[in-house]
Amino acid sequence: MRATKRTNLRALQAFESVSRHLSVSKAADELGITQSAVSHQIRHLTDEVGEKLVDKNGRGISLTHAGERLALSLQAAFNHIDRSVAEAIGTERAAIRIAICSSFAPGWLIPRLSRLMKACPGFDYQLCMYARDPELTDAVADAFVTVKPKQAGFHSLFIIPECLVPVARADLADLPPQDIPLITTDLERNRTGNDWKTFLPMLPPKERFPVPDSWLFATHYVVARDMVQAGLGAALVPDFLVAADVAAGKLKLLWETSLATQEDYYLSIKDSRKTEPGLAALLRWFRQEVAQDRIRVEKPTAPNA
């Protein structure tokens, strides 16, 4: 039998708890031991791995780069242990965490959330909002809606393309477009307003107008949508985010032209986890919703009598 080195499990548990709470006292409460015992285990682990794992930061603590790497691995490992125990004794995970961006959540998923809960009874789904694509790891979430089409070790389901449409509040839509302030979500240096700078040349020649010298700024599509609803100007936002307001007549499309960003949305689940009951149910439901959306889009209009 091949000999293997076994790191002290108590030390790993102590560090994993400290890495989540960034607090020795909270880790001690969680583990049911004293603070000095937690500190002892952290020192023991530091000596064993030969790397400094935590730094004191005033009254608190922070992780070093080595500590961050170890914490991600340990959090994923302990999550896997929890799942393995649950499967062995026939219990289910209390909640399925879905990492989801701030525009896709209110624009696509939340209006359908009641259907998800009805189709997948017995599972609690938690929405974890993010601004930038997170690292795809169990420490972050169990399933991810991202714009990354395929990651090694993950099953990927295409959901919907991202197409930006130009919208303004209904009472502004009758103004000449060049008189409506433009809201941009493209704020990078040397790219400010690049969304509109790309979109405007796509219009028919007679409808084009010069790019403005000044902008209104929004860091996220949902913020731009809210600014449009407040009558502050026009913005390019994902079509699914404003579909309900356009259908209700609250917002209007300034042009029928749309801008494809090529940052389409995908559901990503680890290959090794996609057969877990909660994640398998989630994947089936997404497939059904995507198929229904495709049918609605492709369904031909009935001919006039």
Higher pLDDT, residue 244 or 303: 244
Residue in 210, 179, 211 with CA at minimum distance from that of residue 193: 211
Residues in the chain: 305
Can you name the residues that pair with 268 across neighbouring β-strands?
Answer: 144, 156
**Mean pLDDT for the stretch of residues 241-261:** 95
Place of tokens 């080595």: 66
> Would the pLDDT of 172 be above 90?
yes
pLDDT attached to residue 193: 92
CATH code 1.10.10.10 region(s) in the chain = 9-87
pLDDT band at residue 21, thresholds of 50, 70 and 90?
confident
Residue in 73, 138, 71, 140 with CA at minimum distance from that of residue 100: 140
Confirm or reject CATH 3.40.50.720 for domain 9-87, answering yes or no.
no
The per-residue pLDDT for range 81-126, each reduced to its tens digit, is 776 666 554 455 568 899 998 889 999 999 999 999 999 888 888 8
Residue in 270, 289, 241 with CA at minimum distance from that of residue 96: 270
pLDDT band at residue 3, thresholds of 50, 70 and 90?
very low
SS3 295: helix
CATH code 3.40.190.10 region(s) in the chain = 94-159+263-296, 163-260
pLDDT band at residue 18, thresholds of 50, 70 and 90?
confident
> Would the pLDDT of 188 be above 90?
no
Q: Which of 34-43, 134-143, 226-235 has the highest mean pLDDT?
A: 226-235
Instruction: Give me the CATH code for the 163-260 domain, please.
Output: 3.40.190.10
Look up residue 81 and give its two tokens: 């242990």
Q: Rg of the chain over CA atoms, in angstroms?
A: 25
**Mean pLDDT for the stretch of residues 253-275:** 93
Higher pLDDT, residue 20 or 260: 260
User: Strands 124-130, 95-101: parallel, antiparallel or unpaired by DSSP?
Assistant: parallel
> Would the pLDDT of 300 be above 70?
no
Least confident range from 34-38, 198-202, 246-250: namely 34-38
pLDDT band at residue 134, thresholds of 50, 70 and 90?
confident
- Fold classification of 94-159+263-296 is D-Maltodextrin-Binding Protein; domain 2 (3.40.190)
What integer best gives the mean pLDDT of the chain? 86
**Mean pLDDT for the stretch of residues 3-15:** 74
